[in-house]
Amino acid sequence: MVRQTDQIINFTNEINRRIAEAGITGVEGLVGLYDQLRSALGKVSQQELEWAQGEVNRVLERLRRLSEELSHLAALKAALETGH
């Protein structure tokens, strides 16, 4: 049982060392970051995110159409300039 306890302690120390390599103070620091992230994300609703994503998609679609129109305009201009 003592050997198993030592193995668990060594494993915990190794996990804390690996986490510390990322600049986080062990498991406690990781749990603290998790709580902070959860709290921060709780301040933004799923509906707000969906609305913003929809707005971005609408703008992207409009820009795609505008790009197509500009391509057609450039092709028309080139055709008129060359006389074809």
Task: Give yes or no: residues 52 and 16 share one domain.
Answer: no
Angle, helices 26-42/2-21, rounded to nearest 10 degrees: 50
Task: Give yes or no: residues 39 and 12 share one domain.
Answer: yes
What percent of the chain has a predicted confidence (pLDDT) above 70? 99
How much is the pLDDT for 83? 76
How much is the pLDDT for 27? 87
Amino acid symbol at 13: N
How much is the pLDDT for 26? 87
Q: What is the pTM of this model?
A: 0.58
Rounded distance, CA 46 to CA 80, Å?
51
> Which structural domain, as residue segments, surrounds residue 21?
1-43
Segment 61-68 shows an average pLDDT of 98
| Number of domains present in the structure of the chain | 2
Task: Give yes or no: residues 7 and 23 share one domain.
Answer: yes
Task: Give yes or no: residues 8 and 39 share one domain.
Answer: yes
pLDDT digits (tens, 9 = 90+) for 36-64: 999 999 999 999 999 999 999 999 999 99
> Do residues 23 and 33 make contact, with C-beta atoms less than 8 angstroms apart?
no
> What DSSP element (H or E) covers 27?
helix 26-42
> Do residues 9 and 2 make contact, with C-beta atoms less than 8 angstroms apart?
no
Task: Give yes or no: residues 2 and 38 share one domain.
Answer: yes
Task: Give yes or no: residues 16 and 32 share one domain.
Answer: yes
